[in-house]
Every structure is written in structure tokens, then in C-alpha cells.
Structure 1
Amino acid sequence: MLHIFPLLLCTSTYFHAQLHIPGVGASALTGGGLFTPILMLINAFAMLAGAGGAPRAAISMGKKDNRTAEKILGNCFSLLIIMAVILTFIFFIFAPQMLTLFGASGKTLPYAIAYSRIYILGSIFVLIVMGMNPFITTQGFAKISMLTTVIGAVINIILDPIFIFVLDLGVRGAALATVLSQAVGAVWILRFLTGKKTILHLRKENFRLRRDIILPCLALGISTFVMLSTESILSISFTSSLSRYGGDLAVGAMTIITSVSQLVTMPVQGICQGGQLITSYNFGTNNKKRVKEAFLPSLKPASFLRPCAGLFCFLHACEN
């Protein structure tokens, strides 16, 4: 789960930088926040392949069937590339209409479009990082998986203030910094999965989509996809309603609240994702005892962290 924390730090740095853009900080923050539903949808499609394929690969590895695991890896990679092309095309063209639907006003729409279109053009890197990184963790290379997000987060944190303030690129700079950091993460992942250290190799012969390989992955990943896409729909409902009844300031406040919510949920997601892969491997070995033993260490901290974090946020809000 350690790879989650660089993402939290990166998100915090991004919102802090956006808020302090001279003259337009609040509008820029709101504009960037309006992109959140699209971002959630991109993440949902990435996890459709990642959260569905990685456990299936872990099950095959538990059965000592690395050949099938490599086919799953190759099929999921192809699926991610296909989804990246389709999503980039749709979101780039219809970004203005979607952002207006989400609640963008005449004041915040230019910032929302400026940020979203650059990010959308780099969404292929986001899909590769989020969809392929779980396959590295599946093989037991948790440190390599963590370094993927650490490297990306550090680059993003460094580039954000340079692009936003020094080069005076504003929200475009924030988007560009994110895209470049994700591109580095994607290259890092692809180099590892085609290198000598990896157990499962990304091979061209496995890129051809096969129904018997990809459909079980989609069936397993659909629950994560529905959860994330539902969050996107809820975010659309919140921002559009707040824009109508509270204005840009309310939408900006919701953006900050969303980042705090991620601070609470991401550690729990990290624990559960890591535990799921271990559980899947033991399921593949048909070791029911180890399946139960792997499940409980994930359940206990996840059940404890979320209420405590929620209570802390509630008490802190009451004090202010």
C-alpha cells in the first residue's frame, strides 16, 4: 500500500499550487476540480483491466501456469491501449460540453478546458500506469510498483511549481506536469515488464485479444469499474448542483473536499488491492487456509482506518 502515499502528496501539492496562482487561483482550482468526473472515469477504465487482470494473473501464477498469466498481461495491455484511443477521442472532442454539463461557468470553463484537454491527450500514460502497475505487484515486486508512483509523484511535485509559476503556464502547466510524470511512470513500467527481472513478460504474441482470456478479467474488474464510475456520476451531480445553487466558490470547496476524501480512502484501497493479489495467488494454489489468513490482515486495518480518519476529519471540521 506504500505506493498510495506519493499520490496523496502529489494531489495535495497540485491543489496547493492551483490555489496560489496569482489573480485566478480560486477559478483555476474550480476549473481543475470540474475535470474530476472525467478523471474518475479514466481511472475506472484503467482499473477495469488492472483490478480484473492482475488477480487473474495471480491465480494462474498460483497454479504455476505463468504462460496463461503472460497471456492475461498481454491481453490487458492491448485492452488498455484500445480504451486509451477511444477515451482520448471522445473526451477531447466533447470536453467543453461535458464540463459545461458538470457545472462550469463562463469564468471557470476556460481553465477547465485548458487543463482537461492536455490531461486527456496524456491519458494513455495514466491508463498504462494504473492498469499495468498491479501486474508488477502481482509478481511480488512491491518495491518496484511503489517506485513507479514515487518517481511520478516526485517529478510532478517538482514540475508543478516550475510550470505554473516560473514558466507562467497556469493550469496548462499543472496538466503538463501531470502528463509528463505519468509518461515517465509508463516508460518505467514498460521497461520493467520487458526486462530481465520480471517473471511475467510483455510479449507481442500475447497482444491479440482472446475471448477466453479477457472476458474473465473483465468479469472480475467490473465491480471496481462500477464503483469508480458511480463515484464519477455522484461527482457530476454534486458539481452541477453546487454550480447552480452555490456558484464557483461552492464548486471549488467541493474540489478541496474531494481531495480530503481521497486522503481518507486511498490508504484503505492500497491495503485492499495488495491483499487481493496475495489472496488470489493462494486461491490459485488451492490453499484455502492461506486465503483466509491473507484476507483478515486486509480486513482489520481497512475496517479500522476509515472510521478513525472520518472521525478525525469530522472533529477537525467542527473545531473550525
Structure 2
Amino acid sequence: MDKSTEMGEANVARLMLKYFIPAFIGVFVNALYNIVDRIFIGQGVGALALSGISVIFPVMLIMMAFGMLIGIGAGVLVSINMGRRDINKAEHVLGNSFLLMIVVSGLISLIGFSIKGPMLRSFGATADTIGYANDYLNIILVGVIFQVVGFSLNNVIRSEGNAKIAMYSMLLSAGTNIILDPIFIFVFDLGVKGAAYATVISMIVLFAWVLLHFRSNRSVVKIRPQYFRLDSNIIKEILLIGMAPFFMQMANSVVQGLLNTKLIKFGGDLAVGAMGIVNSVITLIIMSIVAINMASQPIIGFNYGANEPRRVKDTLRIAMIAATIISIGAFTFVESIPDIIVRFFNNSDPELLKLGRQGLRLALLALPIVGFQVVVGNFFQSVGKAKIATLLTLLRQVVVLIPLLFLLPQYIGLTGIWISMPIADSVSAIVVAFFITREWKRL
């Protein structure tokens, strides 16, 4: 059974499982290697170095935002056009997106170097941590093109139905980083620079792998030079669909920068390190849910394009149930062993342990209701309803969370920062439930 027939006719539950397993392995390992950076730095360099790297997190989110803007937008269009049996249009989309990735990557690097100092300070770098942050960022900015192209094209690989190959991409990249991290940090004694070198080399490996895929017989759609001329209509479609995850990541970057500055004010540099630990845990959990989205997106996009609403609803139902199970399980696990989790990152600083424990216990209070929200946002994105997906994204990150971060810490200090997150999640869940109930009736 070829990929198009499979997505249109195979049992939805079995198809979801088939796509989920490689997606989960890939994204989990991919998320893990970013966390391994923090573990090696926290244990091998120190708690302040961990805080310095945590300052870089908003910058990494910005880079990822542009990768998602192009990669997810192109991926959705590719799967929808495959559903319409229009491979020529799908390849046209791929060619335009590839050229767009290169242009955008160059701009990010140039702008990043030109505003590096003010940017780091605005994201919470202090005199004690800016040296670590600057050393890491100088190297990462050189590798932006490899990250954006590698991440974006790997999403298209998944959207064409090649879930296992997309998994191998992430395993290859993550494995490279995990192997090189301890060598550069401990053996060569390069500190945070070693972690950055390991990350960029792993991005180069991913970049080479995905390009080889689209020139091979394994790909359903090909990168063809005749489509390297930018088509304004296709670019507009890509950007409109990718706008929701883009805004999500950009808003997340702004929020992380604001969080860092508030954490320094009410808890000091080590509170930023604690936030880095909280973010690492949240990333692992959310990426597990994102794997469900990766499994469902090509099925939803294809069947929406093929006008098969029953299969779209079946896929969405399974995705929401699975995401909720993961959220509840992760919440129970984290709330039971916060101290053990913190000690993975640094086992020598009692203040970091105290702050990390408090952050994990309070920031994740609404985790059980987060899973279905992530899935619903992906659904609206997968069917090309970018405005709704963007609205739902910005509601949590901007409309609710930012005012809470300005208001609550003034009255209850550091605790107010931590509990702002579950309050924003709860308000967002109510609105998301309203939109998906309405859309369910329309399908």
C-alpha cells in the first residue's frame, strides 16, 4: 500500500500508532539532547553556567519559531496536496519553502550578531551569567541555517508519510550531540563552548541527512531546482499556515525573557537556573504530545484535503485521548519526585534544589489539561485554519500569562511567577474547549 492510499484507507488507530512510535522516539531523543546539554553544563561547569544557558533559551525558541513557520506550513500544504493527488503542486511548495529557509536563516544570523548584547540582557543575563550566555550564542548563531533547514525539511519528510525516516533524522542528530557533549565539555575542557560546538555539529549532520533524503528514491516529493523561484501565492500559503506555531514560539520566547527578568528580581540568578530545569521537564512532556501531533497531522491534512470528515474526526478523537493520558501520567510522575529530577541537573547547590522543587510543583499544576490543548491547536493548523490556531496560541502565552507575570509577583513574590503558568493554562483550556466543540459539530 503506497503512502497516499494508506493515509486515505488504513485503520486510523493502527495508522496513528504506526506514525506515533517513530515520531515519539525521534522527538523525545531530540528534546533529550537539549536537556543533556544542561545536565552536562550544570554538573560539569556549575549552577551559574546553567543559569547562563537558560538565558539563551528564548533565543533558541526564536530560531525554532522560524523553522516551524516554514516547516509546518510547508508540511501541511504538502500533505493536503498529496490528498488531492497533486504531487506537482506539493513539489512546488517544497522548492519554495527550501529557498525561503535559506533566506530566513541568513537574516536570523545577521540580526542575531548585530543585537546580541542588548538581546541577552533583555532576556535576563546578568554580570555573573552573560559571559556563559555569550560564549554559547556566538557559536549557535553560526549554525542557524543548519538548524532551520534541518528542522523544517524533517517536518516535510513526516508530512509525506515517511515517519520512520523522520525518526532516523532526529536519532542521528541527537546521537551526535549526546556523544560529542561529554567529549567537548569534559575531555577538551571547553565548558559551555563545547556544548555549543556539539549542538552545531549535530545540526550539520541533520542538514546533510534531510537533503540527501529529498534527492533519493525514498522521498515521495522531490526538491527540484525549477521550483526555486519564489511564488508569492505559495509563500503566502506557507506563512499563513505556519503562523500559529510561529507566534506560539515567538510569544514563548517573549514570555521566557520576561520570566527570566522577573525570576532575577524575585529569586536571583539561581531562580533562572531553576526555570531552566522546569523548562527541560516541560519540554520532554510537551514533545511527547507533539509526537501525537506529528502522527496525526499527515492523516488529518490528507483526509481533510480528500474530503473525508469521518477519518478526520476519528484521528482527532484518538489524539486528544492519548495526549490527556500522557499529561496525567507525566503530572503524577513529576509531582512525586521533584528533588530527584533537580539533582540530575546539579546535586551540589541546596538553594537550586529548593527553587527547582518549588518550580516543578507549582508551574505544572495544570499539566493534566494541557495535552488536549496542544492537540486542538495542531488540528486547526493541520486543516489550514491558521487564524483560529494563532488565536488559541496567543491567548495563553500573551493575553493571559503576561499580565499575570506583571501582577501576581507584586503580591506573592516568586510564588506568583510559578502559579501564573497553571492559571493561564486553565483559562486557555476553557476557550480551547469551546472552539473544538463548535468545530466538531461542523465537520
- TM-score bracket relative to the smaller structure: over 0.9
Determine if contact 1:84/1:123 at 8 Å carries over to the other structure: yes
Determine if contact 1:104/1:243 at 8 Å carries over to the other structure: no
Q: Counterparts of 1:244 and 1:214 in 2: how far apart (Å)?
A: 42
Q: Which has the larger radius of gyration?
A: 2
Q: 1:174 is aligned with what amino acid?
A: A
Secondary structure of 1:34's aligned partner: helix
- Give the equivalent residue in structure 2 for 1:4: 27
Matched, 1:232 2:232: no
Identity of matched residues, %: 36
Q: 2:196 is aligned with what amino acid?
A: A
Q: Counterparts of 1:135 and 1:318 in 2: how far apart (Å)?
A: 39
- Give the equivalent residue in structure 2 for 1:101: 122
- Give the equivalent residue in structure 2 for 1:209: 230
Q: Counterparts of 2:315 and 2:123 in 1: how far apart (Å)?
A: 41
Matched, 1:178 2:199: yes
* Residue-by-residue CA offset, 1:149-178 (whole Å, 9 max, x unaligned): 100111100000101111111111100100
Secondary structure of 1:127's aligned partner: helix
Matched, 1:298 2:311: no
* Residue-by-residue CA offset, 1:245-291 (whole Å, 9 max, x unaligned): 32211111111111011111111112113201211011122222222
Deviation at 1:81, TM superposition (A): 0.9
C-alpha root-mean-square deviation of aligned residues, in Å?
1.5
Deviation at 1:8, TM superposition (A): 2.9
Q: Counterparts of 1:229 and 1:247 in 2: how far apart (Å)?
A: 25
Q: Which one of 81, 85, 110 corresponds to residue 106 of structure 2? A: 85
- Give the equivalent residue in structure 2 for 1:62: 83
- Which stretch shifts more, 203-212 or 112-121? 203-212
Matched, 1:20 2:14: no
- Give the equivalent residue in structure 2 for 1:278: 299
Matches within 5 A, 1:105-116: 105-116=126-137
Determine if contact 1:92/1:121 at 8 Å carries over to the other structure: no
Deviation at 1:118, TM superposition (A): 0.4
* Residue-by-residue CA offset, 1:40-79 (whole Å, 9 max, x unaligned): 0111111001111101110101111000000111111111
TM-score (norm 1): 0.95
Determine if contact 1:50/1:134 at 8 Å carries over to the other structure: yes
Aligned residues: 318
- Give the equivalent residue in structure 2 for 1:45: 66
TM-score (norm 2): 0.70
Deviation at 1:196, TM superposition (A): 2.1
Q: Counterparts of 1:294 and 1:257 in 2: how far apart (Å)?
A: 31
Q: 2:28 is aligned with what amino acid?
A: F
Q: CA 1:171 to 1:192, structure 2 compared with 1: closer, same or farther past 3 Å?
A: same
Deviation at 1:312, TM superposition (A): 2.8
Q: Counterparts of 1:173 and 1:139 in 2: how far apart (Å)?
A: 36
Deviation at 1:19, TM superposition (A): 0.9
Determine if contact 2:52/2:133 at 8 Å carries over to the other structure: yes
Determine if contact 2:72/2:156 at 8 Å carries over to the other structure: no
* Residue-by-residue CA offset, 1:274-310 (whole Å, 9 max, x unaligned): 2012110111222222222222221211122123322
Q: Which one of 281, 287, 299 corresponds to residue 260 of structure 1? A: 281
Q: Counterparts of 2:114 and 2:331 in 1: how far apart (Å)?
A: 38
Deviation at 1:120, TM superposition (A): 1.1
Deviation at 1:318, TM superposition (A): 8.7
Deviation at 1:111, TM superposition (A): 0.6
Matched, 1:74 2:95: yes
Deviation at 1:29, TM superposition (A): 1.1
If asked which structure has higher relative contact order (CA below 8 Å, sep 6+), I would say 1
- Which stretch shifts more, 295-304 or 102-111? 295-304
Structure 1, unmatched stretches of 5+, are none
Determine if contact 1:264/1:310 at 8 Å carries over to the other structure: no
- Give the equivalent residue in structure 1 for 2:400: none
Structure 1 stretches of 4+ with a deviation exceeding 6 A read none
Q: 1:282 is aligned with what amino acid?
A: N
Deviation at 1:93, TM superposition (A): 2.0
Deviation at 1:136, TM superposition (A): 0.7
Matches within 5 A, 1:162-173: 162-173=183-194
Q: 1:6 is aligned with what amino acid?
A: V
Secondary structure of 1:173's aligned partner: helix
Deviation at 1:121, TM superposition (A): 0.9
- Give the equivalent residue in structure 1 for 2:403: none
Q: CA 1:168 to 1:317, structure 2 compared with 1: closer, same or farther past 3 Å?
A: closer
Deviation at 1:13, TM superposition (A): 1.8
Secondary structure of 2:115's aligned partner: helix
Secondary structure of 1:64's aligned partner: coil
- Which stretch shifts more, 32-41 or 236-245? 236-245
Q: CA 1:183 to 1:318, structure 2 compared with 1: closer, same or farther past 3 Å?
A: closer
Q: 1:142 is aligned with what amino acid?
A: A
Q: CA 1:270 to 1:245, structure 2 compared with 1: closer, same or farther past 3 Å?
A: same
Matched, 1:133 2:175: no
Deviation at 1:129, TM superposition (A): 1.7
- Give the equivalent residue in structure 1 for 2:243: 222
Secondary structure of 1:20's aligned partner: helix
Structure 2, unmatched stretches of 5+, are 1-22, 341-356, 358-443
- Give the equivalent residue in structure 1 for 2:217: 196
* Residue-by-residue CA offset, 1:108-146 (whole Å, 9 max, x unaligned): 111100001101110111101211111111222111100
